[in-house]
Structure 1
Amino acid sequence: MAGLPPVPQPIGIFGQFIAQQPETLILKEKVLSLTGDSFSIKLQNGTPILQVEGKVMSLSGRKTVRDMAGNHLFDIVKEHFHIHTTFAIKDPQDRKIMEVKSKFQLLGSKAIGTFTSSNGKAEELQMKGNWFDTTADITDEAQSGIVVARINRKLLSGKDILFGQQTYALQVAPGVDMALMVAMCIAMDEKNNEK
């Protein structure tokens, strides 16, 4: 898998998670997790970088994202009462720092992620997937449509089918916030689970 080229200007909120080189993250849903949908997120070499804990019995499907030291980075929360499926990314003080909103598209899927980068720049990233949502590109239209991340759902194994488990490979370009790309990938997974 060839790495994505670096972005001209950094994109993100969490400086410690800005990719310094092309990175591929593996997001693996935990089988039969007692806490709801939980994910382990590791670099391709197996180094864990984030942990995602789902909340059982939560109407919003709240997922808490922590770094490996256990620091609470943000929550992913489904917002209700929207025409299109919408997820809010909220900081530990419950302030919205990012929104991922799906858009109607005849074939495939499309969502827009909006947030303000740590440098104060308003960002709008577009996520477009194929009809079966096995792949998606996340692009920055303001920077000439450059691909900032690429999601690829690995082919299902028997265990994945039996337990409804998903595994994603998430390529992230240098200069892009890996934690926010994980949030967009999980929002896509949650929307797909609604089907």
Structure 2
Amino acid sequence: MATGQAFNPVPAMRTYPPVEHPVVVIGPQYLAQYPVELDVNIDFKVSDINGTLIFQVKSKLLSLHDRRFLKDAAGNTVVHLRKKIMTMHRRWEAFRGKSKEKNDLLFTAKKSKLFQFKTELDVFLGYNKGEVPDFKVKEGYSKSSCSILLGDSNTTLAQVHGRHTLAIMPNVDYAFIVALVVVILNKINANDDGDAAINGFMNGLVLCS
């Protein structure tokens, strides 16, 4: 090195251990071979790091069920999310497209326990009729962060940071992760109903609260 020449270190690349097998819930077209980072704004438009719109969420609240529709950038409905009424564990169901038929059920999500100090959700794929969840959601050290895990393992599929940023691991269905975050944002863990839940959603309150 020449005398007086400054040495500028190269920043280390952040790496993610890949999942052993691709995780596909909605479709293989939503798999990426690299980490995916998405931003969710207050209007629930989901964009990538370049600001390109990837998904958007539309609501249908004037019905018997509280419903959300995850749409792609072209406006096509990818997932229909429906909150079941009269359930103790705040259960949500996710169906393919606009369907509400049982054979199109993608997954269900509910609180792991009736009373919780920290958020913990159990997520079951549509065909899973057992008691062991396929995925778990666990609150992090703060209420503005949580992790989405593979079953009861420590394998992280995605993380939610700073209320609105999703970090999704390679080979993980990112449409599924976004659909699951819609459930989280709707405060499945909270003991609220009606206007309180709607206002919390629209105001972009803390994730996993």
Once the two structures are superposed, the pairs formed by residues 1-195 of structure 1 within 5 Å of their partners are 2=14, 4-13=16-25, 14-30=27-43, 39-91=44-96, 92-95=98-101, 96-104=105-113, 106-115=116-125, 124-130=134-140, 133-141=143-151, 144-154=153-163, 168-191=164-187, 192=190, 194=197
1:60-109 CA-partner distances (Å, limit 9, x unpaired):
22111111122211111111122201110012222321111112264311
Q: 2:15 and 2:36 mapped to 1: Cα distance?
A: 7
* Native 8 Å contact 2:108 2:126 kept in 1: no
* Native 8 Å contact 1:74 1:90 kept in 2: yes
Distance 1:97 1:23, change over 3 A: same
TM-score, with length taken from structure 2: 0.72
SS state of the match for residue 46, structure 1? coil
Structure with greater contact order relative to length (CA < 8 Å, sep ≥ 6):
1
TM-score, with length taken from structure 1: 0.76
Gaps of at least 5 residues in structure 1 are 31-38, 155-167
Q: Which has the greater radius of gyration?
A: 2
Distance 1:78 1:4, change over 3 A: farther
* Native 8 Å contact 2:140 2:147 kept in 1: no
* Native 8 Å contact 1:12 1:177 kept in 2: yes
After superposition, the CA RMSD in angstroms is 2.5
- Compare the two structures and name the one with the higher strand fraction: 1
Instruction: Report the AA paired with residue 54 of structure 1.
Output: S
User: How many residues matched?
Assistant: 169
Q: Which runs of 4+ in 1 moved over 4 A?
A: none
Gaps of at least 5 residues in structure 2 are 1-12, 191-195, 198-208
